[in-house]
Amino acid sequence: MSEQQLFKVTIDNITIEVPAGTSILEAARKIGGEVAPPAMCFYSKLKGSGGKCRTCLVEVSKGSEKDPRPMPKLVASCRTTVMDGMEVKNITSPKVIDARAGVVEFLLLNHPLDCPICDQAGECHLQDLSYEHGKEGTRYEFQRRTFKKHDLGPYIQLHMTRCIMCFRCVFTADQLTENRVHGVLDRGDHAEIATFIEKSLDNDFIGNVIDVCPVGALTDKTFRFKNRVWFLKPMDAHRDCPKCSGKVTLWNRGEEVFRVTARKDEWGEVEDWICNECRFEKKHSNDWVIEGPREISRHSVISQGHYLDAVKPTETFLAVNDGRAPHLLLDIHTESDVNKPEIELSLINGPAHSNNFNSK
Ligand code: SF4
Ligand code: FES
């Protein structure tokens, strides 16, 4: 068997070797962290995705060892494959940072400022992108797009005004279900995601469109307006499901399961597709075998307030008191019955209750 050809590529001054045919984006993800460009439309598990949103633009400062000329324009890293000896700049390129701010401005032209009431807030890729690259104001003076309401059935809510036309949901329906009934209608700024003759999307795996949607255009009707994701505790759980892997993340508050989603990796992509029954109909902890708290590796407001990998603050009192110890120091742990240091919050199965602290 012939050996797989490896290409050397340098991204933001870090060199790695990847198999020929790898895209710049995937090579950058192998390095990880900030070096990986943001991606609003590419989805590694969906064939044909990418090339729509332009958030993943990078500068190719050296084409390859054989032809070292730089590429004249910024390129979409999800759709450009690496060449041997290629040199790429992402966060080290002021041009890229500037272009990305422009792309964010375009994506927000028609996007409503719904974050305070949008169920996606806290895990929205556009919200993160705007926070990192967006500008305070908008130069857009025209009326924003409005759409006729479409009913997508009992489980999925469509807010077309929030859609960024990434096509992920269309690919998901095409590749995961037997009969896609929704798609992109019309063109240009009239283009919209819709179902012809308002058919309901009732395929077994259609709920996955909620997980792939990078914004709040497709959300879970069974969770709508019920809670904010950062108030919930994500727990890995599984069940014996005849239709899918049954491996999910439960979003709990106390014993109550507020929503069920697929497990997502650090790029915000689903690890295993889950079926509608697991997602929409198994909303009781007894339906699941709880594995433990889910670690959110993607940087997000959701990771705040979770106890995994918590780092205790260093002692600041001496530092702010010129090295002098206080005359009297009360320890809240000894003075009160709560927050006992010997209670390891990350080991508690589910959210902590007063009982955890009262037990002798
Ligand atoms: S509804 Fe969501 S997943 Fe579908 S095209 Fe719009 S933004 Fe993308
Ligand atoms: S992620 Fe590359 S163009 Fe959208």
What domains can you pick out in the chain, each with its CATH number?
Answer: 6-105 (3.10.20.740), 115-137+146-220 (3.30.70.20), 226-360 (no CATH)
Among protein residues, the one with the nearest Cα to ligand 1's atom 4 is: 169
Burial class (CB in 10 A: 0-12, 13-18, 19+), 13: exposed
* Ligand 2 center from residue 96 Cα (angstroms): 14
* Ligand 1 center from residue 90 Cα (angstroms): 26
| Residue 174: predicted pLDDT | 84
| Residue 311: predicted pLDDT | 54
- Judge contact between 302 and 296, C-beta under 8 A: yes
Torsions phi, psi of 184, nearest 5?
A: -95, 125
- Judge contact between 100 and 90, C-beta under 8 A: no
Indicate whether residue 235 lines ligand 1 (CB < 6 A).
no
Residues forming a β-bridge with 49: none
| Residue 95: predicted pLDDT | 96
Nearest to 56 by CA among 72, 35, 87: 35
* Ligand 1 center from residue 165 Cα (angstroms): 5
Indicate whether residue 214 lines ligand 2 (CB < 6 A).
no
Q: Please give the model's pTM, rounded to 2 decimal places.
A: 0.81
Please give the Cα distance from 320 to 122 (Å, whole number). Answer: 34
Mean pLDDT, 10 residues at a time, over the chain (360 residues)?
Answer: 83 95 96 93 95 96 96 97 97 95 93 91 91 84 86 89 92 81 76 67 87 95 92 93 95 91 94 96 94 79 56 67 75 63 69 64
* Ligand 1 center from residue 214 Cα (angstroms): 7
